[in-house]
């Protein structure tokens, strides 16, 4: 069974700190990996995707992929209270995505 | 640019009543379409996906069904709702081609079954 695991949190960080969110997946054949942000009561919105080993940066966000260890992470630099949300990791298994349960992030002013 | 719509935004229905949720996409052709359900405090569960008109795949056996009568229209239905059908229903679309097939979500429908 194809699984995606995340620490449910909550993860609390002070404003201005780096938030680190982690995700592990079970299928080595996975090619593409996605991070979504979901505010309470709202639908998920795409932050970024990554498909090559290493780092990918987009503004304050950096996705890191390590296919050998089967994990993908999201770093948020200079965290702001507006970053407080649930972060969903998704793995593209070819036909469909499998989503992790999400990590709730709380950025404290 | 592409836009995805869902309606209604919220719905309160009694147990045993029928259900029809609609999703439409603008600005793209022949998208892949998806229905997900998110129970309170839970992750996203894929219910159905469609790669074309009339082509529906079901991921989870349940009392729900889906149809795609037009290229950019996806409908989720039930003949008789159960209490366990309560949740946040999300429609998503993707291009269905290329190496990275990103999914984009609609605003969702919050369903409460009483």
Q: Give the end-to-end CA distance of chain A in Å, rounded to a whole number.
A: 40
Residue in A32, A88, A101 nearest the CB of B100: A32
The nearest CA of chain B is from the CA of A53 a distance in Å of 15
DSSP string, A3-70: -EEE----EEEETTSPEEEEEEES-TT--EEEEEEE-TTS--EEEEEE-SSEEEEETTEEEEEETTTT
Length of chain B: 114
Query: What pLDDT score does A74 carry?
Result: 98
**Residue B18 pLDDT > 90, yes or no?**
yes
Query: What pLDDT score does B23 carry?
Result: 98
Task: Give CA–CA dist B35/B92, Å, rounded.
Answer: 7
Query: What pLDDT score does A94 carry?
Result: 76
Top residue of B44, B45, B95, B105 to mutate, by most chain A CBs within 10 Å, is: B44
A9, A103 in Cβ contact below 8 A? yes
Asked if B49 and A32 come within 8 Å (Cβ–Cβ), the reply is no
**Residue B27 pLDDT > 90, yes or no?**
yes
Task: Give CA–CA dist B67/A5, Å, rounded.
Answer: 31
Intervals of chain A under pLDDT 50: none
Query: What pLDDT score does B99 carry?
Result: 62
The nearest CA of chain A is from the CA of B78 a distance in Å of 22
Asked if B108 and A102 come within 8 Å (Cβ–Cβ), the reply is no
> Hey, which residues does B21 pair with through a beta bridge?
B76
CB distance from B101 to chain A under 8 Å?
A: yes
Residue-wise pLDDT for B41-81, tens only, equals 778 999 999 999 989 998 876 789 999 999 999 999 999 99
**Residue B29 pLDDT > 80, yes or no?**
yes
> Hey, which residues does B76 pair with through a beta bridge?
B21, B66
Asked if B100 and A49 come within 8 Å (Cβ–Cβ), the reply is yes
Q: Phi first, then psi: give them for residue B85, nearest 5 degrees.
A: -80, -10
**Residue B100 pLDDT > 70, yes or no?**
no
- Per-residue tokens: B37: 């359900």
């Amino acid at each position: 069974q194809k699984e995606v695991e995340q620490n449910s949190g909550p993860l609390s960080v002070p404003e201005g700190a780096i938030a680190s969110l982690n995700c592990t997946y079970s299928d080595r054949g996975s090619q593409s990996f996605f991070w979504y942000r979901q505010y309470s009561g709202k639908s998920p919105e795409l932050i970024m995707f990554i498909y090559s080993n290493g780092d990918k940066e987009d503004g304050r966000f950096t996705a890191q992929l390590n296919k050998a260890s089967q994990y993908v992470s999201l770093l948020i630099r200079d965290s702001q209270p507006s970053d407080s949300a649930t972060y969903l990791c998704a793995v593209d298994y070819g036909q469909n995505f499998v989503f992790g349960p999400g990590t709730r992030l709380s950025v404290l002013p | 640019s592409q836009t995805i719509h869902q309606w209604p935004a919220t719905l309160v229905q009694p147990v045993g009543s029928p259900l029809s949720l609609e999703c439409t996409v603008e600005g793209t052709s022949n998208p892949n379409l998806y229905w997900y359900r998110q129970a309170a405090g839970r992750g996203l569960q894929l219910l159905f996906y469609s790669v074309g008109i009339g082509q529906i795949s079901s991921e989870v056996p349940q009392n729900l069904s889906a149809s795609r009568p037009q290229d950019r229209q996806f409908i989720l239905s039930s003949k008789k709702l159960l209490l366990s059908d309560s949740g946040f229903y999300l429609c998503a679309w993707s291009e269905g081609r290329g190496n990275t097939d990103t999914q984009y979500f609609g605003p969702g429908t919050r369903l409460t079954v009483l």
